[in-house]
Amino acid sequence: MQIQVNSNRSLNTGESFERWASGELHQSLGRFKGDITRIEVHMSDENSDKTSPDQKRCVMEARLAHHEPLAVNHNAPNQDLAFRGASDKLKRMLDHTLGKLRDHHRDRETIRHEPAPESGTP
């Protein structure tokens, strides 16, 4: 699972944030590593010249091996909360989306099995 962290010119994430973000994503999304090929994280400061309560924004996009990419975003007062909020949203979306795919495939497998013989037939 490859992780790429980007930021716009008004918000400097730095190498330490990138290492931390990569470690957090590997830990929280590790169980999906067979499905995720790449995660892109985009951090930005929405109002770099003004003060507002939710000025930091994190957009995460997960590229999946057998599905369309999934994207989420989260706005918060600082980049840590924005990152954690987007990470939680992405985790829930992956649980939901990949769970549905697995359930769909599980249902399809049961159709291929031979039907059980009926009991009580002569």
pLDDT tens digits, one per residue of 3-21:
999 887 777 778 888 899 9
Residue 69 neighbours by CB under 8 Å, 6+ apart: 61, 62, 63
DSSP code at position 33: T
More confident residue, 43 or 67: 43
Q: Residue 120: exposed, middle, or buried by beta-carbon count in 10 A (0-12, 13-18, 19+)? A: exposed
Instruction: Identify the H or E element spanning 81.
Output: helix 79-111
CA distances from 107 to 39, 66, 100, 102, 110 (A): 29, 18, 11, 9, 5
Compare 66 and 85 and report the one with higher pLDDT.
85
The Cα 79–Cα 83 span in angstroms is 6
- Those residues whose C-beta lies under 8 Å from the C-beta of residue 97, and which sit 6 or more positions away, are 67, 70
Q: What is the pLDDT of residues 68-86, one digit of tens each?
A: 999 999 999 988 999 999 9
